[in-house]
Amino acid sequence: MDWQELGMTAARGFLVYVVMLIVIRLLGKRTVGNFTAFDLLVALMLGEVVDEIIYGDVSVAQGLVAIVVIALAKYLTTWLSYWKHGLNRILEGAPTELVRNGELDRKSMHHELMNELDVFAALRLQGVADVREVKKAVMEVDGQISVIREEWAEPIQKRDVYGDEAKKASKEEKRTDTPEALGAG
């Protein structure tokens, strides 16, 4: 094994990283599920490299070079995303607003390759029965959908019913639950 061959392995590893990152970004956020595009890419590539090393398709030295290059590429893209917010938007994407004030944003849904059934299913998973309850629903960069409800649709709380009395009762309960109040002090 010579240095030129190891250098070519490193170059191929970095090239595959860049190409796969572009492909994953083009496929959209739903492709990555709960991972960021970087996490999915690294998991896929490391799995393949380890497979190649285990089955002897590449030498251990070549496999280790590829693993180091993938790790360095991950570190570099994470570092660039952290320091340059414009690059973060390019590398990881941006959140996409799917529902605004109870109305579906069909252009955004089309961009994320989602139909009404997909959005309604995601809302149900968040405990929302009616889209009119939603002030804002956003597909985050990791593919998760976060929901902010309209104020009137928020679940009722004790303070909503009892007002200041609920706060006073809660404080009284806390004071009587102390070891001193229970006679243990």
Of 5 and 1, the structure prediction assigns the larger pLDDT to: 5
**Predicted confidence (pLDDT) per residue in 99-114, tens digit:** 999 999 999 999 988 9
pLDDT of amino acid 109? 93
Q: Which residues contact 164 (CB under 8 A, 6 or more apart)?
A: none
Query: In DSSP terms, which residues pair with 149 in a beta bridge?
Result: 134
Of 83 and 15, the structure prediction assigns the larger pLDDT to: 15
Amino acid identity, position 119? V
- pLDDT-derived band at 119 (thresholds 50, 70, 90) equals very high
Cα-only R_g, the chain: 25
pLDDT of amino acid 48? 87
HSE-CB for 55 with a 13 A CA cutoff: 6
Of 31 and 51, the structure prediction assigns the larger pLDDT to: 51
**Predicted confidence (pLDDT) per residue in 88-102, tens digit:** 777 777 899 999 999
Mean pLDDT of the chain, nearest integer: 80
Query: For tokens 């109040």, what's the residue?
Result: 181
Of 1 and 8, the structure prediction assigns the larger pLDDT to: 8
12-19 average pLDDT score:
79
**Predicted confidence (pLDDT) per residue in 129-184, tens digit:** 899 999 999 998 878 899 999 888 777 777 667 766 656 666 666 665 556 655 65
pLDDT at 12 over 90: no
Percent of the chain predicted with pLDDT > 90:
23
pLDDT at 62 over 60: yes
What is the DSSP annotation of 40-83? HHHHHHHHHHHHHHHTTSS-HHHHHHHHHHHHHHHHHHHHHHHH
